[in-house]
Amino acid sequence: KKNQDPNLYGGYTGEQDAYFCIVSFLNGKKTKLKLIGIPVRIAALEKTKANAIQDYLQEQGYNQAQIIKDHILKYQHVLYHEGDKVSDFYLVGSGEVINARQLMIPMKTNNLLSRVLKASSQGSIADVDLQNLYSELCEKMKMYVPYQEMAFSLEKLEEAFMNLPFLEKVETFKNMLVVMQANSGRVEKGSWKLEGEYQGEKIELAGSRLSKVLKPENIEFVYSSITGMFTKSERL
């Protein structure tokens, strides 16, 4: 079916990955490791054509490729180690991850947040409570390694946040929650209502998409039982 009309052969509209693998290959005189996506069409072809995956890797320029870890599924939970910092991710692409860290907030904060998100107007909700809630969520976001810069930018925009109309404050809280929750939700760059300056510097908020090429040697794979009671992890 390669290079054939997908209308005739039921092909795929894009190179969707069936799964990922970690490959060692020769780059000059050095052996390197890389996380690589195996397209659905190649994984399917492997069932009827021996060495289809090896041929694909060779075509992609991976010389003397050897698969070190095979069949890594989409949404595989990983811990990514960068020096003394550890990030919690789900794999969604060979160059993209999403946050896997659960957001934990105190009951009192959760109750206020629930009240704010359901409100159609500020009513009896005090400005100081909104300010404290914003500050607390900024502090929470600093605990997420990939979003620390975003947290610092939000912190600098606290005055601008307090000047927003109430419903735009609510939208800001919703965006902050999407960023920190463990799911595939995204905040696009243009969806923030916040803008302003801090000490003469214009502050712009980025989107939440995490385009990141993971170094295999820094990946710790996490496996949990269906009940979540048992967990094991492994590195290469």
**Structural domain includes residue 62:** yes
Spatial neighbors of 171 by CB under 8 A, at least 6 apart, are 191, 193
Residue 228 pLDDT exceeds 80 = no
**Structural domain includes residue 164:** yes
Q: Would you state the structure tokens that stand for residue 168, as one six-digit string?
A: 């735009």
Residue ending a domain, choose from 27, 54, 72? 72
Among candidate residues 40, 41, 36, the one with its CA nearest the CA of residue 24: 36
Q: Answer yes or no: do 67 and 112 share one domain.
A: no
Q: Is 93 helix (H, G, I), strand (E, B) or coil?
A: strand
Spatial neighbors of 231 by CB under 8 A, at least 6 apart, are 222, 223, 224, 225
Range of the domain at 206: 107-211
Q: Count structural domains, the chain.
A: 2
pLDDT tens figures, 30-83: 999 999 999 999 999 999 999 999 999 999 999 999 999 999 999 999 999 999
**Structural domain includes residue 206:** yes
Q: Answer yes or no: do 61 and 148 share one domain.
A: no
**Structural domain includes residue 23:** yes
Residue ending a domain, choose from 24, 50, 72? 72
pLDDT tens figures, 6-19: 333 334 446 799 99
What is residue 215's DSSP assignment? -
Q: Answer yes or no: do 112 and 66 share one domain.
A: no
Q: Answer yes or no: do 205 and 121 share one domain.
A: yes
**Structural domain includes residue 234:** no
**Structural domain includes residue 147:** yes
Q: Answer yes or no: do 112 and 196 share one domain.
A: yes
**Structural domain includes residue 205:** yes
Q: Answer yes or no: do 66 and 134 share one domain.
A: no
> Tokens 């908020």 correspond to what residue?
205
**Structural domain includes residue 28:** yes
pLDDT tens figures, 109-149: 999 999 999 999 999 999 999 999 999 999 999 999 999 99
Query: At 182, is the pLDDT very low, low, confident or very high (cuts 50, 70, 90)?
Result: confident
pLDDT of residue 20: 97
